[in-house]
Structure 1
Amino acid sequence: MMKLDQIAVRQAKGVSAQKEQELHAFGVHTIADLLDYFPFRYEDYRIKGLTETKDGEKGTVQGKIMSVPSLQRYGRSKSRLTCKVLVDGLLVTAVWFNRPFLQEQLVPGREIILTGKWEQRRLQLTITDSEFPDKGTARSGTLQPVYSIGGSITQPWIRKTIKQALLQYGTMIEEMLPHQLVDKHRLMPRREAVERIHQPDDTVEGQAARRRLVYEELFLFQLKLQAYRSLNRKRMDGVAHVVDAESIRQFAQTLPFELTDSQKKVVNEILTDMRQTSCMNRLLQGDVGSGKTVVAAIALFAAVKAGHQGALMVPTEILAEQHLRSLQRLFEPVGMEVGLLTGSLSDRKKKDAVASLQMGLTDIVVGTHAIIQEGVNFRSLGLVVTDEQHRFGVNQRSILRRKGLNPDVLTMTATPIPRTLAITAFGDLDVSTLRERPQGRKSIQTYWVKHGMLERVFGFIRREVDGGRQAYFICPLIEESEKLDVQNAIDLHVQLQQAFPDLAIGLLHGRLPAAEKDEVMRSFGDDHIDVLVATTVVEVGVDVPNATLMIIMDAERFGLSQLHQLRGRVGRGGHQSYCVLIADPKSETGRERMKVMTETDDGFEVARRDLELRGPGDFFGTKQSGIPDFKLADMAADFEVLEQARDDAAELTAQEDFWTSRAYERLRMVLKQDQLFQGDLLD
């Protein structure tokens, strides 16, 4: 028998070829897609009294027409139709705009049902819908679903089409969840939930249907993560590092600073993982400047001391060179060899680097994705650290696993995520968090100014540069745009050159060739550039300790997390650093962002507020992170359900029964259809 996801949406009654194409634009290709095309809210057509309808809000009331209607016309097509209606003992004015055809139907003494905005002071209802009980009502007394639509698809058409599809195919809706979970959480059966979310009798029923479907959506998401994690632990024996605690202590004493309590705790979590036979899969998150690199260095040291090799993978070549220099300083005293492997190395140097890894002469390699390319082999790779790869989804991490080496993996990110959300979103990872700043690290002072104060900002630049410091000036666009009235990097570069003819003003943006980008950043790092005008290319990982001033033009155009990342480019040396946000935000959200940035420089607090303002889809960069765009679920609002779904999925996938019993065959099929489980992982 065919499944709903195998039946084309064209088979639903009333769907023409044109409508089918329009539905495809909304991602609706099959009957299953159509039935899962859920409303995002409801219009309430249930009849209430005027006393239950709040002033300024929409409501539905029933009354009797008490006067002959009056019609006023404006120009060719505009009109205003009014009449008096008796509702709950009050004589109110009902107003219809641009519906002159109703005039003949508004007969004194006739019963009428009105839906519209209630203005208590004027005793007036501005009507959006009206019906006559003597004709038989179509909508009143119900909650009507409201869908995301466009083109020629209207609300009445999509409502009617989904209703028809439920009549045709409703009996084919299959249960997705194991009966014990349905019983445990007292959930509606799936068929009833799908019917009720489209056609609820009341809000309680609609909420119960949503609760069931939200749980299912989050459970299936978590099932994928927990199944992947469970299979990795069962089948992927990794490197069990024999780590000598005393040698770790001695290495920590050679570091140029004392570890914070937070760093010590996280190091212990990582070393405990590394001692296990199963692969480590851990996310290390910490605010900008919290000392993640030092923690990674200790983990790499432990891998080498245990007789293996380590790799640090970073997103850009300039960041690779930066890490190379800092790791060489740390490992030189203990006699460990650190090498570099990037795409721009000459063929000869690349060949030498690969050979050195294969023979085990290089203990630790720092590089870009070149590290995991074909032909790069290690004598014994024990640990891979990926830096600033918070956009690495589960699928990408599984590709790394499939190199056949099964190393421990430590993923680092400077995008703080509320810890509980991180544990749940990255269900296949264990999460360690650095909360403390290293001793002596000064707080960055942040100011918000309007565009009219640009001259004063220029004075601030002059003061810092005259004091021997450097400044960043960030713009949202590269070139002028007719659509967005925002300062662009190229124009600003010219403006600053004119304002400061005696200073070296650099320009950095995404369209520059890679070699030119690297050259500009090297010049800035070597103090040959005083002020660097840039787009958000500098957001990730660039470390220039002498830069003390970060100016962000049109700051309201950036998200909170991005603003915080940019701010983190300064404050890396011993000098007091500043961040200046230049913005004239028109929206409440824009003003709120500026407020948050000036109130706190704690990345976790910024992340929490960002989540409130933007929601998790934007927060994680859904397309990169592997987190889907949920149809109903909201990871912030539905967090408790998300945690419960995670626990249920973890418990289920840990049972041998799950992988063999026919009772879970449907769930195993869901996993097999996922890209993550392609190949032999489930065979």
Structure 2
Amino acid sequence: MNEELNIPTTTVNGIGKQKAESLKELGIETVYDLLMYVPFRYEDFSVRPLETVRHDEKATVQGKIYGEPVVRYFGKKKSRLSVRLLVGPLMVTVVAFNQAYLRDRLTPGQDVVVTGKWDQHRMTITAQYIKSDREVSDQSYLPVYPLKGNWKQQTLRRYIRLAYEQFSHLLDDTLPNQLREAYRLMSLSESLRALHFPEGEADLKQARRRMVYDELLRFQLKVQAYRKQKREEEEGKVSAGPREEMDRFISSLPFTLTNAQNRVLDEVYTDMKSPYRMNRLLQGDVGSGKTIIAAAALYATVMKGYQGALMVPTEILAEQHTTSLTELFEPLGIRVGHLSGSQTKKQKREQLERVASGEINVVVGTHALIQEGVHFHNLGLVITDEQHRFGVEQRRILREKGETPDVLFMTATPIPRTLAISAFGDMDVSVIDELPPGRKPIDTRWAKPNMLDDVLRFIRREVQKGRQAYVICPLIEESDKLDVQNAIDVHAQLQLAFQDTNVGLMHGRLGAEEKDAVMGEFVDQKVQILVSTTVVEVGVNVPNATVMVIYDAERFGLAQLHQLRGRVGRGAEQSYCVLLADPKSDVGKERMQIMTETNDGFELSERDLELRGPGDLLGKKQSGLPEFSVADLTRDQRTLEVARQDAIKLIASEAFWSREEYVPLREWLEAEGVLEQKALD
């Protein structure tokens, strides 16, 4: 922050007390705020030859009025003005709605500049603006600012220009010369001049490049400084045994790890062997083999003499993990325990005693792991599966069950790397981006609702082969506001259609025990078709399920559709996903097409980011994403990576903490409270 500019906006010539109060509605209180209030888009008023304008494109053209303008009135206070205009060799009609006053200003032979949408088929321009040559501004790119209340673009533009002319000489650059020269970046004063009053597209591009890097570097400096402070304050421990012991465990497995699994295992093991506390996010698509990484990490922890804990969101998942880890570890003398809410008091007491004494080496459980009576003998590693299903507080309580245990978060929800290193900036991120060989891709089809009978016949064929099917609906019951299928009605319809088949129903209003009972019947193949809302999205391994039908699929994002699709395809048989959808929007249609084209969750997440934006993708309240003024995580991925690497180097260097050129950035970090360990926002 330039302290000299931390002064009221009333110091700008032409801004009085009333306007200064009004500026506060926009979050502008100081001259610095006013200068840094950047546009979110631009209107291009540069004149173009009409031949270069595409059909339905908005553009600005210059021409000569040919004939008198004609005005027709219709409705209350509505009008349509039309006038002939000679643009180069073309005679076109210009139409302007509700601008009847222009009739007296437009005369035959007059040169005018028209901005509007070009209809090539009708040879018509629907005008937004019609101006004489004298009225046209020298500035062809006009900034458009976010506004509230009675503010007008023209007024705000004028105040920003006044502030820049009066105070731009006081703008100090916080970016050190070394970085500016390395990337050939404009100064802060130059970039603000170009953002507010661009001379052309190239000027604007360079200004934006500088501001994006500046914003992302500052954000990453906050993240890296915060991590450095935490590392220095938290005494970690080496929580892994010798590498050769873990390698022997890996080589004893009945399959070979993929290259991606080996790479991630190296990253996790390096963290566990370091004196710092591990804080790592492991992303892996459904079926990519995250569980074996977790098992290897737990094995390494036990070999060092510590206990490991694995927390999962559902009891059925906890039981499945307990079974698979017991099969892996019991022959090696490692004892696996299980804690869940449904255990009897006697079972729970017995497990708690064995955990507290250290007799149990690895504990698997639901949120029962974080309850008050759970005491570990010497907890060294905490693994949370589907980490977004647990609150921050729940994860913190589990971490505090031991003395600075290593922490590994796992998720099957593919998150674009840009978002992962922003939303989870204080974590290291590992990605398993390769599926084990031999897995059959899920055959995904898009069906219109009028093809429902064909879809039901297909489900019947699969059920007759002894397979099972999921049927997903967006709602639990009928809604007056939404015309979408609901689980209760679909369950009733399918019971009629499949009278010789068990059709189960699961939704969010069922209690935990009821959900587990229904899911248990599906796992045990007592239920062949399971109708459910998205509560089934994260869950269990049912290798016998080969069909996933999703009603009103256009209502879901790509990431969620992919998660639902991942409930099938877990066995040796070919699996199918049917998207029942009749999307009205282009985005909905594109979503369906993308789903049928690829099974790659990370590719889908990148496409979802493009379609929906970062806030929608992670959920605005839960996203943890910073608010950027200029940077856009969808298109500025490469700059984020560069800024992150630069921030890591700077924070780790002695020069950053001692040399004069970095004083502005150090002072900024201090003002942000990062050096006092205030939580990152």
Task: Classify the TM-score, shorter chain.
Answer: 0.7 to 0.9
**Residue in 1 that maps onto 2:647:** 649
Q: Is the 8 A contact 2:370 2:394 kept in 1?
A: no
CA distances 1:285-329 after superposition (whole Å, capped 9, x unpaired): 222112211221111011001111111122334433332232222
Other-structure match for 2:57: 57
Q: CA deviation at 1:21?
A: 7.8
Determine the structure 1 residue equivalent to 2:286.
288
Instruction: Provide Cα deviations, 1:393-448, integer angstroms capped at 9, x if missing partner.
Output: 99998887677722222222222346687567755444443344345533322222
- The 3 A distance-change label for structure 1 pair 159 and 288 is same
Distance 1:374 1:672 in 2: 38
| Other-structure match for 1:329 | 327
The answer to whether the 8 A contact 1:232-1:279 is kept is: no
**Which range moves more in the overlay, 124-133 or 549-558?**
124-133
Shifted more, 340-349 versus 228-237: the winner is: 340-349
- Aligned equivalents of 2:176 and 2:545: distance in 1? 57
In the alignment, what sits opposite 1:497? 495
Rate the CA distance shift 1:84–1:605 in 2: closer, same or farther, 3 A.
Answer: closer
> 2:597 corresponds to which residue?
599
- Counterpart amino acid of residue 431 in structure 2: T
Deviation larger for 430-439 or 299-308: 430-439
| Correspondence for 2:79 | 79
Per-residue CA deviation, residues 537-594 of structure 1 (Å, 9 max, x unaligned), is 1111322222221111111221222111111111223333221111122233322322
Q: Name the structure 2 match of 1:551.
A: 549
Q: Does 1:469 align with 2:479?
A: no
Contact 1:617 1:629 in 2 (8 A): no
Q: Is the 8 Å Cα contact of residues 502 and 528 (structure 2) preserved in structure 1? A: yes
Aligned to 1:175: 173
Aligned-partner Cα distance in 2 for 1:281–1:364: 19
Specify the code of the residue in structure 2 equivalent to 1:208: Q
Contact 2:418 2:637 in 1 (8 A): no
More off after superposition, 160-169 vs 564-573: 160-169
| SS of aligned partner of 1:67 | strand
Give the match for residue 366 of structure 1. Answer: 364
The amino acid that maps onto 2:589 is R
The one-character-per-residue Cα deviations of 1:170-190 (angstroms, maximum 9, x if unpaired) are: 566553433322232222222
2:408 aligned to 395, 407, 410, which one?
410
Following superposition, the deviation at residue 518 of structure 1 comes to 2.4
Q: Deviations over 1:449-481 (max 9, x none)?
A: 111111122222222223322211011122223
Closer, same or farther: CA 664–112 of 1 in aligned 2, 3 Å: same
One-letter amino acid matched to 2:212: V
Question: In 1, are the aligned partners of 2:225 and 2:674 still within 8 Å (CA)?
Answer: no
Aligned to 1:206: 204
Q: Check the 8 A contact 1:427/1:646 in 2, yes or no.
A: no
| Number of the residue aligned with 2:106 | 106
Query: In the alignment, is residue 68 of structure 1 matched against residue 68 of structure 2?
Result: yes
After superposition, the Cα gap between the structure-2 partners of 1:201 and 1:231, relative to the gap in structure 1 and judged at 3 Å, is same
In structure 1, the residue matched to 2:380 is 382
Answer yes or no: is the 8 Å Cα contact 1:392–1:624 preserved in 2. Answer: no
Alignment of 1:128-277 (within 5 A): 128-133=128-133, 137=135, 139=137, 141-149=139-147, 152-163=150-161, 166=164, 173-241=171-239, 243-252=241-250, 255-277=253-275
1:9–1:15 CA contact under 8 A, matched in 2: no
TM-score by length of structure 1 reads 0.87
d(CA) in 1 for partners of 2:304, 2:96: 81
Counterparts in 2 of 1:265 and 1:381: CA distance versus 1, 3 Å = same
AA aligned to 1:95 is V
Which shows bigger deviation, 363-372 or 12-21? 12-21
1:174-222 Cα offsets, whole Å, 9 max, x none, are: 5343332223222222233234312222222222221111111211222
Aligned with 1:455 (options 447, 453, 456): 453
Q: Deviations over 1:329-366 (max 9, x none)?
A: 22222222222345666677666655543432321122
Letter in 2 for 1:330: L
Out of 76-85 and 389-398, give the one that drifted further: 389-398
Aligned sequence identity (%):
53
Q: 1:315 aligns with which of 305, 313, 316?
A: 313
**Deviation of residue 152 (structure 1)?**
4.1
Equivalent position SS for 1:561: helix
- Aligned partner of residue 486 in structure 1, secondary structure: coil
Give the 3 Å change call, closer, same or farther, for CA 120–493 of structure 1 in structure 2.
Answer: closer
* Bigger Cα displacement from structure 2, 368-377 vs 458-467: 368-377
Q: Residue in 2 aligned with 1:521?
A: 519
Note if contact 1:10-1:16 (Cα within 8 Å) is conserved in structure 2: no
Q: Which moved more, 1:380-389 or 1:262-271?
A: 262-271
Change (3 A) 1:68 1:437: closer
After superposition, the Cα gap between the structure-2 partners of 1:239 and 1:8, relative to the gap in structure 1 and judged at 3 Å, is: farther
Deviation at 1:649, TM superposition (A): 0.6
CA distance in 1, matches of 2:398, 2:666: 24
The count of corresponding residues between Structure 1 and Structure 2 is 677
Q: Which moved more, 1:374-383 or 1:270-279?
A: 374-383
Provide the secondary structure at the position in 1 that maps to 2:453: helix
- The answer to whether the 8 Å contact 2:418/2:640 transfers is no
CA–CA separation in structure 2 for the residues paired with 1:579 and 1:50: 48
The superposition leaves residues 375-407 of structure 1 with CA deviations (integer Å, 9 ceiling, x where unpaired) of 754332221222122588999988876777222
Letter in 2 for 1:114: V
Structure 1's unaligned 5+ residue stretches are none
Per the alignment, residue 43 of structure 1 pairs with 43
Report the Cα distance in structure 2 between the residues aligned to 1:84 and 1:140, rounded to whole angstroms: 26
Q: Distance in 1 between matches of 2:367 and 2:325?
A: 19
Q: Mean Cα displacement is larger for which, 223-232 or 114-123? A: 114-123
The reply to whether residue 306 of structure 1 matches residue 297 of structure 2 is no
Residue identity opposite 2:58 in structure 1: K
Note if contact 1:44-1:142 (Cα within 8 Å) is conserved in structure 2: yes
Q: Distance in 2 between matches of 1:514 and 1:675?
A: 42
Q: Deviations over 1:269-298 (max 9, x none)?
A: 433332222233333322211221122111
Matched residues in 2 for 1:38 and 1:209: separation?
11
Distance 1:532 1:114, change over 3 A: same
CA apart distance, 1:73:
2.2
How far did 1:153 drift?
4.1
- 2:117, 2:17 → 1: CA distance? 33
> In the superposition, relative to structure 1, how do residues 581 and 10 fare at CA in structure 2: closer, same or farther (>3 Å)?
farther
- Counterparts of 2:333 and 2:92, CA distance in 1: 89
What amino acid does structure 2 have at the position aligned with 1:43? E
- SS of residue matched to 1:533: strand
Please say if residues 15 and 161 of structure 1, whose CA atoms lie closer than 8 Å, have aligned partners that are also in contact.
Answer: no
In the aligned structure 2, how far is the partner of 1:31 from the partner of 1:481?
50
In structure 2, distance between residues paired with 1:576 and 1:171: 68
State the shift of 1:111 in Å: 4.4
Relative to the length of structure 2, the TM-score reads: 0.87
CA shift at 1:500, angstroms? 2.0
Instruction: For 1:153 and 1:347, locate their aligned partners in 2 and report how far apart those are by CA, in whole Å.
Output: 65
**Would the aligned equivalents of 1:193 and 1:213 in 2 still touch at CA under 8 Å?**
yes
Between 600-609 and 380-389, report the one with greater CA deviation.
600-609
SS in 2 for 1:68: strand
